[in-house]
Amino acid sequence: MSEAIIGRVVATERKPNTPHEFHFWTALDAPVGIGTIVRVETARPVGGLLPRIYGVVTEGFGYTDLQTPLHDVLGADGEPGASALAPTERTEIRLYTAAVLRHVPEEPLQPVPMGTVHLATEADVQVALRMDTYATGDTRRGIPVGLYRAGGTEAAIHLDADFLLGPEAAHLSISGVSGLATKTSAVEWLLASIFAHFPASKGKVAAVCFNVKGPDLCFLDQPASALSDEDRAIYATLGVPAVPFANVRYFAPWSAKGGQLATLRSNDALQENVQPLTWGLKETLQYAEVLLNRDDIDAKADALIDFIKERVVDQTFTDGVLERAHEVRSFSDLEQWFRELLRGLEARNADVWRTHHVATIRKVRNRLSNISTRCKGLVTDDGSVSDLPFKAFEDRAVYVVDVANLEEDAQDLVFARVVSQLREHLEKRQLGVEQVVVFVDELNKYAPADGPDTYVRKMLLDIAERGRYLGLVLFGAQQFRSQVHRRVVGNSGTSLYGRMDPDELATPGYQTLAPATKARLATLEKGQLMVRHPHFGQPIFVRFPRPAVLTGREGVERFPQAEELTIEQSVAKALRRLDPAITLGWVQDQLMLAGDDDDGVLRARNRTLQARPDDVKAFFKAQLKKRATPEVAGRRGPAPLRVAPPDDPYG
Amino acid sequence: MRDALRALRDGGLGAGARGAPLEVQPKGDQPPRLERATPLEGTSIQVRAVPGEPVVGFRAFLDGIQRSQVLAHAGGVPIVHGAVAAAIRVREARRMHTWGAPRIDQALYAPHALLEAALLETLLGRVRVVDTLRADGRSPADDPDAVPGARHPQELVARALTAVQRAREAAESALAADWVASGDGPLLVDGGTSASAEAARSAQVIGVVKSHRTLYADEAALPLLLGLREGERTTAMTLSSPRRHAVASWYLRLRDPASRSPLFGLVRVEAALVDDITSRADVVSRWLLAERAPVSLPDQRWDVMVYGIRECEQYLTAILK
């Protein structure tokens, strides 16, 4: 326990102490600043016990015995340099305001008494932040978030896993200006810390990270170029291995041309754990609401879409209007179904089919059929699916879904479906892990405070409010916390703040912070965070190490993006992962023999990748042959002209 | 004061009779006067510009404060509580620190002979009671200030105030003597040094008198003295009185009075008598001119009070509860 007295508590009628705030003065050279944790001791017992109060400095004042600046001007004869030559420095005070973190004992809760002020030791920090209740002992569940440093004291700051990942509270919100490596770095560091410290007794944990811009999360399995000794020391102190993530899997849709995956992690050396993310009709139609414009799709269209989802897709469908039985399993199947249905209605001169007006049918056909165009690369016409391994999530694994190169609609679709699948599998306890952290950057875009009530926003609100019971935990990052829906940030049990924009700090959400705390927030260095956590009575400033993974910027320099491939090269590269014996020449021969178009070749490739057959060459050739065979049943002649009834007076 | 109040209560006196501080009450001071002094430089008082630039020379500053107020009246006799404190503040790296321990003294001040014996016994059993009829240790018969038989309450209060002032001066003198014995470097004392034999003789102690109810100048020298310009001093003179020790003294104008009072920025310096008083007076004057900054505003005496003394006074105010 620190015995050195660094200050004394003072209180005046104009500036009284309260149970939650007190004032103290220090020597001018005392190692105290905004964010320093201090301990107050008094010699006057209360109820037979000597109270001990812990607080964190939130404001500082310094002044001299000058009554007005004019006096200094007079004394210096108007020459600023003359003051520095004065033989005596004016009496100066350092007066600090501290917010109470904890009273020991907790009752009776009284104003902070006069007493001596000491710098908090490591043990004091544990008590002050109530970490003694969860970060020590056999049932410890502390997750290191950073290192508190002040006045020579270094203390590990732990978050309570029960309040970070549930079930007591959950979710994390991290805010900070862009470009200071705060948000992404902090999340990468915290995930590493979670993986290192999440108690095995609480089950398995995995993370799903959406890479929404650039190469931010593309190299989580690669070691950092150079960690400083200071960073390594923090890793050692906090008990987190300074190594990249051991188990990372990447998922990215195909590029629009289909030649390669739409990700900046396209270097040949890193393809081992990169998989396509492609969905067919069934997967997409389930979340059609995400992609359809609410202005276009009314209740009538909704009814038809529901009918198609329930009665048409993935089953044999027959109807008197149709010329044959249809099994709609892909967008191309659906297009054929629509085409035949409309042709049949025209042939019968019917305006309504099963209560659905022909105009509604045409509108829904138009909206649904362009989904595969709008989400090209993600949504396949042929129904081939390559998805995250729901039901087989692995402990301490990171699943990165790279949507950085997708259009906004497609990003929404990916986000909605992945999170919904996670939720469904967690509900059934079939995901493979008990806890999943979902990291979403730019949360203000997906769950904005203002704007339309989109499917994605509703889903995020649902996670924020009920996810902790399922083990579905949202780690959301945003530049401006004030622009994120208040129910999302309000349900975040833990909040991290990097350097903040002063304009953002002027918004009402930060009114509870002292001006000095805001000033510090506006000038935080890289690697510094302000932490709010349910156990901490006040925000705490911590330092965290640089993530032990390669940054996106360094990653794209070290692993340059692969050049755009020809279709033969793309197929050869993809199939070689299944069968290293496959050569570019063999692929060129097969494509020449098949004479198929590009879509057909890519379809064959996707089906092969999806099936992962033992004999890759034979399977691929069979797929090419399949496409080469004309689909007679699907080819119809032009629709006959409508014939007027014999009794039609206008015929 | 709490002990004193308790003692008075135990003595059967009401404790609600506190009055305003005596220092703020109107005083019956003697009228301003001129007094002759013997020139030390030349045969008459002259004006001399202090040569050279101001230079920092003082290492420490000594000041004392006092507080007194009537706590009770016993049969019309005022019983005064007096508290005095004195301290030396040393300047190191432009910052001030207390040298040794401050001297603090608190007592009741009352004329013993005029109090009932039982009350006096009760008070003496609890607190120190200074006899204001023997405040300086002399019996009333030996004290020319004493007025035997005087029972006017205001007269008794005035005697108590004088006794408190002497207590303060005694504390200051004792500290000055301590500095002479073990201090290091020039000490600036707020007020004269001639009351203390050690201070008056020591080359380390310089006194600065800020009030001028007595001006040491004859009518011929007075216009010279009042006409001093900033950075000018009078030639030194020697002051002597039966109750004070001989010292060298001169007037120094710290600040330009412009159209203000002719006493604005005027101080009288006291220093030990030395052979080369001209050089000594010039050096000490340069030290004092260097202390003009920082100014002691908002103190009303800022024109003549150096900051080290003000800082010392603030320190004493803070510790004298």
Q: Which residues contact A226 (CB under 8 A, 6 or more apart)?
A: none
ipTM: 0.74
> What pLDDT shows up at residue A117?
97
Tell whether the model's pLDDT for residue A506 goes beyond 90.
yes
Query: From the list A74, A89, A91, which residue is nearest B295 (CB)?
Result: A74
What is the pLDDT confidence band of residue A332, given thresholds at 50, 70 and 90?
A: confident
Strand segments, DSSP code E, in A131-258 are 142-150, 153-160, 172-175, 205-211, 248-252
Per CB-CB distance under 8 Å, the chain A contacts of B298 are: 67-68, 71
Q: What is the pLDDT of residues A267-306, one digit of tens each?
A: 888 988 999 999 888 888 888 878 776 666 778 888 898 8
- Please give the sequence-ordered ranges of beta strands (E in DSSP) within B95-243, or none if there are none: 95-98, 103-110, 129-131, 187-190, 205-209, 214-216, 232-234, 237-241
Q: Does any CB of chain B come closer than 8 Å to the CB of residue A71?
A: yes
- pLDDT for res A451: 81
Q: Is B89 on the interface with A (CB under 8 A)?
A: no
Q: What are the pLDDT digits (tens) for A347-406? A: 999 999 999 999 999 988 988 888 877 888 888 877 778 899 999 999 999 999 999 888
Q: Cα–Cα distances in Å, from A50 out to A17, A45, A107?
A: 18, 4, 12
pLDDT band at A240 (very low <50, low <70, confident <90, very high): very high
Which of A190-194, A568-572, B220-224 has the highest average model confidence (pLDDT)? A190-194
pLDDT of residue A634: 38
Q: How many CB atoms lie within 10 A of CB A179?
A: 8
B-chain residues within 8 Å CB-CB of A83? 293-294
Assigned token pair, B274 = 């030395």
A88–B94 CB contact, under 8 Å: yes
| Of residues B47, B45, B41, the one with CA closest to residue B220 | B45
Residue A42 has pLDDT above 90, yes or no: yes
**Residue A445 pLDDT > 90:** no
> B179 phi and psi, to 5 degrees?
-65, -40
Report percent pLDDT > 70 for chain A: 94
Q: What is the pLDDT along chain B (321 residues), one digit of tens a residue?
A: 778 888 888 887 765 545 557 666 555 556 788 888 999 998 999 999 999 999 999 999 999 999 999 999 998 899 999 999 999 999 999 999 999 999 999 999 999 989 999 999 999 999 999 999 875 545 454 555 555 556 788 889 989 999 999 999 999 999 999 999 999 999 999 999 988 889 999 999 999 999 998 999 988 899 999 999 999 999 999 987 787 889 999 999 999 988 888 999 999 999 999 999 999 999 999 999 999 989 998 888 999 999 999 999 999 999 987
Residues of B in contact with A74 (CB under 8 A): 295, 297
Is the CB of A76 inside 8 Å of chain B's CB atoms?
yes
Q: Is A140 exposed, middle or buried (0-12, 13-18, 19+ CB in 10 A)?
A: middle
Helix (H) or strand (E) holding B122: helix B117-126
User: Regarding predicted confidence, which is higher, A357 or A79?
Assistant: A357
Average pLDDT over residues A422-438: 94
From the list A67, A72, A89, the residue facing B94 with the nearest CB is A89
CA pair distance A586, A594, nearest whole angstrom = 12
Q: What is the pLDDT of residue A373?
A: 79
CA distance A185 to B265: 65
Q: Residue A637's pLDDT is what?
A: 41
Please judge whether A72 and B314 are an interchain contact, meaning their C-beta atoms are less than 8 angstroms apart: no
Enumerate residues 6+ apart whose C-beta is below 8 A from A313. Answer: A281, A282, A285, A328, A329, A334
Residue A389 DSSP SS3:
coil
CB contact under 8 A, B314 and A65: yes
Residue B287 near chain A (CB below 8 Å): no
CA proximity to A275, closest of A396, A384, A376, A388: A388
At B259 the pLDDT is: 80
Give the lowest-confidence range in A82-86, A459-463, A476-480.
Answer: A82-86
**Measured between CA atoms, how close is A88 to chain B, in angstroms?**
4
Which tokens belong to A236? 């050692």
Range name among A133-142, A501-510, B28-37 with the lowest pLDDT average: B28-37
pLDDT of amino acid B304: 95
